[in-house]
Amino acid sequence: MAVNANHPERWKADIAQSVDYYNDWFLRFAPKTYRDSRIQSTVAVEEAFALTSDLANIGAAIFRLHPSLLPILRMATAPPLARDRLIGLSGVSSSLVRNLEIEKRIPPRMTDDRVDVELERIADILARLLDIDIFPWLKADSTPSTEERYRAATVVADRLCGAISDPIIRNAQEQRQLAALQEWLERRGYLLHSDGPSDFTAMQPGTFAFRLNVPVRQLGREQTVNLPIDTVVRAKDAVAGQMPLLIEAKSAGDFTNTNKRRKEEATKIAQLRQTYGNETRFVLFLCGYFDSGYLGYEAAEGIDWVWEHRIDDLTGFGI
């Protein structure tokens, strides 16, 4: 039985309330979240300065020892370099750069000789493009003062946070949404399954878990993959064979990105139903900018939702 998807007469008012709810959170908490991240980034940049002799020693050897320096050094150039731009300028393998930045490692299948050649290309581009306006000691061939070093580190840290500001805010909002779900469920007597059950269908009634991998068959194939689900709740009065409620927390700070991402949920529900049948219960937990176009698309796919500003609607799903 639908709770919100079949009530389009409520959508407009809910959208307005959800936007206000998100904006209120953003104004109160996003600046602090960003500042905290910038403080952490400044420390990381100062460590990068120490490891590279205040940027005078950038070469293959330093990346072999400290792969995680690359995203910091990309923000130390003029102009700051996006990852793909660095790959294009240096002519290196995208796999190498992504391994350095995401996996924090040297690609295990790349030969040592090739790694050294490509790391030197990266180092050469970075050294040529270092922003001497914020690192004046490089041009003067001198040792920076403590004040100069800190000032430069804050500039690079600000660039680094600016480049990843959306993920910073999105992660903070996601954590807040999951905390809201946990508080609501525990207030109703549900117990957190902190270890994560090996089989989500065998969860005990009255329990819930976060970030479970649910095995599903890929559409049109027999191959099984793990589908991450934010929250899985098994109702207190669940009977044998009844599927838990699967909840996907979604937030958005503008209307544009939601319409780009709306097919993700449609793919998830299709995979879940193909694997577990049409009785699969998958709902969205929404906060922010989700317009009627997004809601209509999800409703047409058979996906219902609960607004965070009206979290008690979860009771409509038997929770």
Which CATH number characterizes residue 313's domain?
Answer: 3.40.1350
Q: Both 25 and 157 in a single domain?
A: no
- Name the band, by pLDDT with cuts 50, 70 and 90, for residue 267: confident
Beta bridge partners of 192: 208
Looking at the structure of the chain, the number of domains it has is: 2
Q: What angle do CA 162, 164, 123 make, to 5 degrees?
A: 90
What SS3 string covers 115-173?
Answer: HHHHHHHHHHHHHHHECCCCCHHHHHCCCCCHHHHHHHHHHHHHHHHHHCHHHHHHHHH
Q: Both 205 and 300 in a single domain?
A: yes
What range does the domain containing 132 cover? 34-165
Average pLDDT over residues 75-94: 93
CB 192 within 8 A of CB 209: yes
- Asked if residue 178 belongs to a domain, the reply is yes
pLDDT higher than threshold 90 for residue 259: no
- Name the band, by pLDDT with cuts 50, 70 and 90, for residue 1: low
Q: Both 139 and 201 in a single domain?
A: no
Pairing state between β 281-288 and 245-252: parallel
Q: What pLDDT is recorded for position 294?
A: 92
- Asked if residue 21 belongs to a domain, the reply is yes
Pairing state between β 224-234 and 245-252: antiparallel
- Boundary-marking domain end, from 165, 184, 216: 165
Give how far Cα 166 sits from Cα of 34, 41, 153, Å: 10, 15, 21
- Asked if residue 59 belongs to a domain, the reply is yes
Q: What pLDDT is recorded for position 196?
A: 67
- Boundary-marking domain end, from 118, 140, 165: 165
Q: Both 251 and 307 in a single domain?
A: yes
Q: Both 143 and 286 in a single domain?
A: no
pLDDT higher than threshold 80 for residue 229: yes
Average pLDDT over residues 172-198: 90
- Boundary-marking domain end, from 99, 131, 165: 165
Q: Both 90 and 153 in a single domain?
A: yes
Q: What pLDDT is recorded for position 4?
A: 94
Q: Both 153 and 267 in a single domain?
A: no
Q: What pLDDT is recorded for position 261?
A: 74
- Asked if residue 3 belongs to a domain, the reply is no
Q: Both 118 and 20 in a single domain?
A: no
88-108 per-residue burial string, b: 16 or more CB within 10 A, e: under 16 = ebbebeeebbebbbeeeeebe
Q: What gap in Å lies between CA 190 and CA 84, rounded to an integer? A: 46
Task: Using only the alpha carbons of the chain, give its radius of gyration.
Answer: 24
pLDDT higher than threshold 70 for residue 251: yes
Q: What is the pTM of this model?
A: 0.71
Q: Both 242 and 138 in a single domain?
A: no
Q: What pLDDT is recorded for position 30?
A: 79
**Max intra-chain CA distance, the chain:** 75
pLDDT higher than threshold 90 for residue 195: no
- Asked if residue 2 belongs to a domain, the reply is no
Q: What pLDDT is recorded for position 183?
A: 97
Q: Both 151 and 194 in a single domain?
A: no
Q: Both 180 and 307 in a single domain?
A: yes
- Asked if residue 114 belongs to a domain, the reply is yes
- Asked if residue 1 belongs to a domain, the reply is no
pLDDT higher than threshold 80 for residue 220: no
- Collapsed DSSP state (helix, strand, coil) of residue 209: strand
Q: Both 222 and 145 in a single domain?
A: no
Q: What gap in Å lies between CA 304 and CA 269, rounded to an integer? A: 11
- Asked if residue 207 belongs to a domain, the reply is yes
- Residue 212 burial by Cβ neighbours in a 10 Å radius (0-12, 13-18, 19+): buried
Cα-flanking dihedrals φ and ψ of residue 261, to 5°?
Answer: -100, -5
The mean of the pLDDT values for the chain is: 90
